[in-house]
Amino acid sequence: MATIHINRREYHAQASELTGEQILGLAGIGTDHDLFFLQGEGDRSGGTPIALTEPFPIRNGEHFRAIPGDRNFG
C-alpha cells in the first residue's frame, strides 16, 4: 500500500499501478477532470499530464493534481 497525495489530500492506494481514472476515483473525483503528476507539491511546471486510460506506477509519497477539464481561469 502506498500513500499518495491528490490535490494536497492524502489517500492510500492498494495497487502498485493505477490508471488515471482509478487515481481520480480514489479521491472521489469524476473523469471530467484532467490529472497531472507532480514532482512534489511545489512543482512549478504544473505537472505531467496523465491520460485516464494510462497505467501509472504508484510509489509512496507521490503528488497528483486534478483540475476540472472545463476550466477557465479568467
**CATH top class, domain 2-68:** alpha beta
Sign, Cα dihedral of 72, 33, 62, 9: positive
- On the question of pLDDT at 73 being above 80, the answer is no
- How do residues 35-56 score in pLDDT, each as one tens digit? 999 997 778 888 999 999 999 9
The secondary structure element, H or E, covering residue 20 is helix 20-26
Burial 50-64 (b: 16+ CB within 10 A, else e): beeeeebebeeebbb
Domain ranges of the chain: 2-68
Give residue 57's pLDDT: 96
> Which position has the grid cell 507532480?
38
pTM: 0.88
- How do residues 20-30 score in pLDDT, each as one tens digit? 999 999 999 99
67 in Cβ contact with 24 (< 8 Å):
no
